[in-house]
């Protein structure tokens, strides 16, 4: 199953340049890297990235992260994937821009189906 991380352009470039990241400032503060499932990603974007432009949606295969990935209760009592190690560029399956159109982030068509 694919899980998703939303990065600002500078965070994505840092991962590409350095080959790994400890995540965004909120990840560093919380001690793990926040991810969302396909069904959670749009709400995550609206809640934490409202109005933000120049974002990237990064997909990672959950099964390849092993025991470092924990599913923990978060927003709305839903289970969210949290990574308790650095994210490596080798973990990334794909990444693409997450454009903002009329104030709403435009996720890839079929994201939920493709993530299954």
Superfamily of the domain at 2-100: Protein of unknown function DUF952 (3.20.170.20)
The enclosing H or E element of 105 equals strand 104-105
Instruction: With CA atoms as reference, report the closest residue to 25 among 2, 54, 48, 44.
Output: 48
Joined together, the tokens standing for residue 87 give 């994210």
Give the chain's mean pLDDT. Answer: 94
Quickly state the pLDDT bin for 112 (edges 50, 70, 90): low
pLDDT tens string 7-38? 999 999 999 999 999 999 999 999 999 999 99
Global pTM reads: 0.93
Buried b (16+ CB within 10 A) or exposed e, 82-112: bbeeebeeebbeebeebebeeeebebeeebe
Quickly state the pLDDT bin for 76 (edges 50, 70, 90): confident
Tell me if residue 99 falls in helix, strand or coil: coil
């Amino acid at each position: 199953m694919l899980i998703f991380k939303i990065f600002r352009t500078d965070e994505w470039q840092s991962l590409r340049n350095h080959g790994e990241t400890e995540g965004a400032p909120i990840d560093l503060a919380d001690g793990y890297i926040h991810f969302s499932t396909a069904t959670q990603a749009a709400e995550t974007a609206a809640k934490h990235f409202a109005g933000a432009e120049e974002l990237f949606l990064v997909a990672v295969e959950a099964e390849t992260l092993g025991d470092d990935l924990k599913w923990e209760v978060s927003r709305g009592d839903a289970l969210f994937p949290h990574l308790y190690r650095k994210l490596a560029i080798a973990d990334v399956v794909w990444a693409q821009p997450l454009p903002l159109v009329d104030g709403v982030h435009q996720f890839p068509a079929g994201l939920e189906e493709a993530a299954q």
